[in-house]
Amino acid sequence: MPSAKKISAYSKKDLRDVSDSPELTKADFARARPFSEVFPDLAASIRKGRGPNKSPTKKLVSLRLSPEVIEHFKSTGSGWQSRIDETLRKAVKRKAS
């Protein structure tokens, strides 16, 4: 098997020769403005994110479950956390009856 040749890195001159953008100067940085100033509408749309639920139906909790329970529900595919919730709701209903 032939040995792989070592590829040398590009020099600064190589990068300068192929670069379409000139190097930024201190004056360029002095004229720079924040993204949110230049594109306020776009910046606002990015900041929005998902937002709160219109009517939250579930509460976020931290819960420790046995490895067997987690493995069982995860083995059934995506949506395993919802299936745990469904199983617990059924148990609550049975207990209330």
The model's pLDDT over 6-45, given as tens digits with 9 standing for 90+, comes to: 666 888 888 878 878 778 899 999 999 999 999 999 888 8
In a domain, 13, yes or no: no
In a domain, 44, yes or no: yes
Percent of the chain with pLDDT over 70: 88
* Domain that residue 82 falls in: 23-48+60-96
In a domain, 40, yes or no: yes
pTM for the whole thing?
0.44
The count of domains in the chain is 1
Between CA 27 and CA 72 the distance in angstroms is 62
Specify whether the CB–CB gap between 63 and 70 falls below 8 A. Answer: no
In a domain, 39, yes or no: yes
- Per residue in 46-92, pLDDT tens? 876 666 777 777 888 899 999 999 999 999 999 999 999 999 999 99
